[in-house]
Amino acid sequence: MAKTPRRSTTRASKKTKYIFVVGGVMSGVGKGVSSSSVAKLLQARGLTATAIKIDPYVNVDAGTMNPTEHGECFVLKDGLETDQDMGNYERFLNVDLPANNYMTTGSVYQSVIERERNLGYGGKNVQVVPDIPLEAIRRIKKAGELAKADVVLTEVGGTVGEYENILFIEAIRMMKAELPGQVAVVMVSYMPVPGSIGEMKTKPTQHAARTLSASGVFADIIIARAPVAIDKKRKEKIAKFCNVLPENVISAPDVPSIYDIPLMFEREGLSERLCSMLKLPCKKAIDMRSWKRFVSSSRGDSDAVKIAVVGKYFSSGDFVLSDVYISVLEAIKYSAYKLGLTPEITYLSSQSFTDKKKLRELKKYDGILVPGGFGKTGVEGKLNVIEYARKQGVPYFGLCYGMQLAVLEYARNVLKLKNASTEEINPKAKELVIGVMDEQREKIAQADMGGTMRLGQYKAVLMPKTIAREAYKQAEVLERHRHRYEVNNAYVPALEAAGVIFSGTSPKGDLMEIMELSKSEHPFFVGVQFHPELQARPLNPHPLFTAFIKASYENK
């Protein structure tokens, strides 16, 4: 962890402006995407924009949470394990964000307590208010400094009126008071249209605005999330009861794709409203050309490419969760669009493939992807799927666990090491083809599990004349990691002799980063120890995903 600075506040640059996004009424209405879209529009007006996510839970980061609880864990370049909204910001803005830009109640308290232990408060009484909000404010200002930003956008997780995020709402109030004219608040609120009456209701939003005002904060802009567009009459009603100008009520009906949202906000004049409200040095004309080109590439009736994603974190009660692999899904889409294809992505639960008869269902798909994962649930199913992809010549892309299991499958079925396993699920197995990394052994023994995996960006060097090297078109790459286990080097010579090509390794050559099979054996069989999906961007698709999708389409 970075050392906590002694001073609890930093000075805001005079020019930096701060936009806060809070949620009204309920969660899950697209606050993260709304925030990303606002930042995107300001960027497209020529401003330097950066984005922060505040998660109100006590966990210090998102790394220890079950993905079915919290969705995907998005790893930043410098290794912090964060919320998937950080991924949206990076994808929309096409920038890498630093660890400073993600905070939780737990991480803020941790800094304050550490500073107190280091006498950083000079003997004073350290209090929940103001010291907790002040630490949040310090980080918000620091984000502006790090990015030399004209505007810092901060999304406060949860909805107004909850206990959990109240200290962050207080931080907004304090910043508004300290920096008049430099802070704007956007509330993303939900306007239900109950089926029984068929009329859009604004009352829940009025209550949310009132709750927010009870904390001393007024929204400057209200984004009206609803199944349909909000009409003039209701805009006026919200304006009257929630203290905003009617033109500051932004209509945000459901749209086919999240990438339409910035364009929709712009039609409502949102960036212009923010620029004039905060006196931002915006360009007169917005430049969304490349974004529009991307959005139109995602339309059309181009040929389909059918990809099966075989994972384990898909169900929650009776509901299917796609959020858990959101970066993977988006990465597939960007590459498909780039190739002029329509991606059809199906989530399949790995557990069902424990029964080999079920493998027949895979015939429908042009390519198979096994994403990252942990633990033993569904592993035998994944191994069966990988064996099927290898033997049937179906393009296969394995990410992290998906790579480790591809190596394991090869060891079991080609090297005939019938008892081969990964130390993660069977530490007593005789043939530990995948073993725990040396540096991890002690951490596991001490149950020191939070933020201690091999995390963040590391370099890999690529072997010439391989699928990986040809896809990347460069000799070295930087990719983001999140793992405790690795290919056991003791088995590398045998695996290589049997046909596995380790086409990417750490610069010292001691860590296997990419495995593949020769193109003469299989059209596309590639596993990577890292998470390429974390660096795939709409305007910058990931070369390995593109190679995988291309091979899948050619396999049709």
- Residues with catalytic function: 400, 531, 533
Judging by beta carbons within 10 Å of its beta carbon (0-12, 13-18, 19+), is residue 116 exposed, middle or buried? middle
Question: Under a CB-based contact definition with an 8 Å cutoff, are residues 512 and 496 in contact?
Answer: no
Least CB distance from residue 404 to ligand GLN, whole Å?
Answer: 6
Closest CA to 244 of 267, 215, 265, 274: 274
In one-letter notation, the amino acid at residue 49 is: A
Question: Under a CB-based contact definition with an 8 Å cutoff, are residues 487 and 406 in contact?
Answer: no
Torsion of CA 45, 48, 51, 52, to 10 degrees: -140
81 or 516: whose CB is closer to ligand GLN?
A: 81
d(CA 186, CA 172): 11
**Beta bridge partners of residue 52, listed in sequence order:** 154
165 or 440: whose CB is closer to ligand GLN?
A: 440
Question: Alpha carbon of 334 to those of 32, 325, 327, 430, 536: distances in Å?
Answer: 19, 15, 11, 42, 8
Cis peptide before 204 (omega within 30 of 0): no
Judging by beta carbons within 10 Å of its beta carbon (0-12, 13-18, 19+), is residue 444 exposed, middle or buried? middle
Question: Under a CB-based contact definition with an 8 Å cutoff, are residues 249 and 239 in contact?
Answer: yes
Least CB distance from residue 511 to ligand GLN, whole Å?
Answer: 12
Least CB distance from residue 424 to ligand GLN, whole Å?
Answer: 5
- Shortest-Cβ-distance residue relative to ligand GLN: 372
**Beta bridge partners of residue 5, listed in sequence order:** none
235 or 312: whose CB is closer to ligand GLN?
A: 312
Least CB distance from residue 238 to ligand GLN, whole Å?
Answer: 44
44 or 406: whose CB is closer to ligand GLN?
A: 406
Q: Which two tokens stand for residue 156?
A: 């406060």
d(CA 205, CA 258): 23
305 or 528: whose CB is closer to ligand GLN?
A: 528
Using alpha carbons only, give the angle 92, 98, 100 rounded to the nearest 5 degrees. Answer: 120
d(CA 270, CA 247): 9
169 or 328: whose CB is closer to ligand GLN?
A: 328
294 or 314: whose CB is closer to ligand GLN?
A: 314
443 or 537: whose CB is closer to ligand GLN?
A: 443
Q: Which residues contact 6 (CB under 8 A, 6 or more apart)?
A: 115, 118, 120
d(CA 322, CA 84): 12
Least CB distance from residue 292 to ligand GLN, whole Å?
Answer: 35
d(CA 545, CA 538): 12
Q: Which two tokens stand for residue 460?
A: 């890999």
Least CB distance from residue 453 to ligand GLN, whole Å?
Answer: 6
Please report the DSSP string for 457-521 in residue order. Answer: EEEEEE-TTSHHHHHHTSSEEEEEEEESEEE-GGGHHHHHHTTEEEEEE-TTS-SEEEEEE-TTT
Strands 454-462 and 500-505: antiparallel
Least CB distance from residue 438 to ligand GLN, whole Å?
Answer: 13
341 or 385: whose CB is closer to ligand GLN?
A: 385
Least CB distance from residue 485 to ligand GLN, whole Å?
Answer: 3
Question: Under a CB-based contact definition with an 8 Å cutoff, are residues 467 and 551 in contact?
Answer: no
316 or 377: whose CB is closer to ligand GLN?
A: 377
Least CB distance from residue 436 to ligand GLN, whole Å?
Answer: 8
d(CA 223, CA 249): 6
Least CB distance from residue 344 to ligand GLN, whole Å?
Answer: 24
d(CA 106, CA 397): 36
Q: Which two tokens stand for residue 423?
A: 């130390």
Instruction: Give the footprint of ligand GLN on this chain (CB under 6 A).
Output: 372-374, 400-401, 404, 424, 482-485
